Amino acid sequence: MQNLGSYLSRVHEMHPLIHNITNYVTVHDVANVEIAAGASPVMTDGALDDVRDMARLVSGLNINIGTPRQSYEEVCMAALNSAAETGAVIVLDPVGAGATAYRSELSKKLLETGKLTAVKGNISEIGALFGGQGNTQGVDADLAESVHEENIDEVAKKLQAYAAQYNLIIVATGAIDLIVDAKQAYAVYNGTPMQSEITGAGCMLSGILTSYLAANKDDMLAAALAAVCMFGIAGERAEQLMLEYGRGNASFSNYLIDEVYLMDAERLDDNADFEQR
């Protein structure tokens, strides 16, 4: 693995075009944070012909099911198939999987296509997505709790088994973030609880992750690690600014995107806090 900064640099050099099918709550922040990260976002999720054509033009597809519509499955599948044809990376953020049957089932259908490059969610969404067949809630009981120092290796092993089964990368977020594929597992300690005091931090990370994977297809696990560390560092810096200026969560949200914009390879390497498990 190279320095993490090199993965950041490649996003800024390549400016990958990322097609986002994402919720309408945080879509503006996803667009701005992808630009801040060096990528170029495009959003379209309504007219099928437009979705199909757009997904053929991009290097990455980011599917986030935060505000599903009636026709969402058809739209997601059309984009997914177009993107898969051209070899674009495809990321799923199964927002709210486990909370409603609709979200659990839609996520599973997208997973079962076998075409996902990565899945990113909080640990309970990940549990609902991969675990619990024959379980109404769809939540893997072992993954229902948060990740902490005592259970981290056990959780990582379980995620690696899922990653191997579906041949993809899993990013499970929480106080400690886990990034795994079939062979390797990393724990990331960057970030701040303030990131859950705003709407959209998870959605932004999915957009960044898609951008980093798209620009680093030769070493995607390290690129995912770089994305998670980078966003966590941006959060830490944004929190410092918020406290320094005596501001609240709306200002934090802006500072967070600002800090992604201001991030460079050196800052990332100096502040990344992770370990292989």
Is 261 one of the binding residues for a second copy (CB under 8 A)?
A: yes
Is 258 one of the binding residues for a second copy (CB under 8 A)?
A: yes
The minimum distance between CB 132 and a second copy, in angstroms, equals 17
Is 109 one of the binding residues for a second copy (CB under 8 A)?
A: no
Q: Distance between CA 265 and CA 217 in Å, rounded? A: 18
What is the residue type of 97?
A
Is 131 one of the binding residues for a second copy (CB under 8 A)?
A: no
The minimum distance between CB 206 and a second copy, in angstroms, equals 15
Question: Of 4, 8, 11, 54, which lies in the binding site for a second copy, with binding defined by CB under 8 A?
Answer: 54
Q: How big is the CA angle at 52 (ends 50 and 58), to the nearest 5 degrees? A: 95
Other beta carbons less than 10 A from residue 250's beta carbon:
10
Is 164 one of the binding residues for a second copy (CB under 8 A)?
A: no
245 forms beta bridges with none
Q: How big is the CA angle at 269 (ends 36 and 251), to the nearest 5 degrees? A: 40
Is 117 one of the binding residues for a second copy (CB under 8 A)?
A: no
> Which of 64, 53, 56, 52 minimizes the C-alpha distance to 20?
64
The minimum distance between CB 38 and a second copy, in angstroms, equals 10
CA 100 to chain CA centroid, Å, is 20
Structure tokens at 205: 């990370």
Q: Please, which of residues 58-97 interact with a second copy by CB under 8 A?
A: 66-72, 96
Q: List residues binding a second copy (CB under 8 A).
A: 23-29, 31-32, 35-36, 41-50, 53-54, 57, 66-72, 96, 99-103, 197-200, 246-251, 253-262
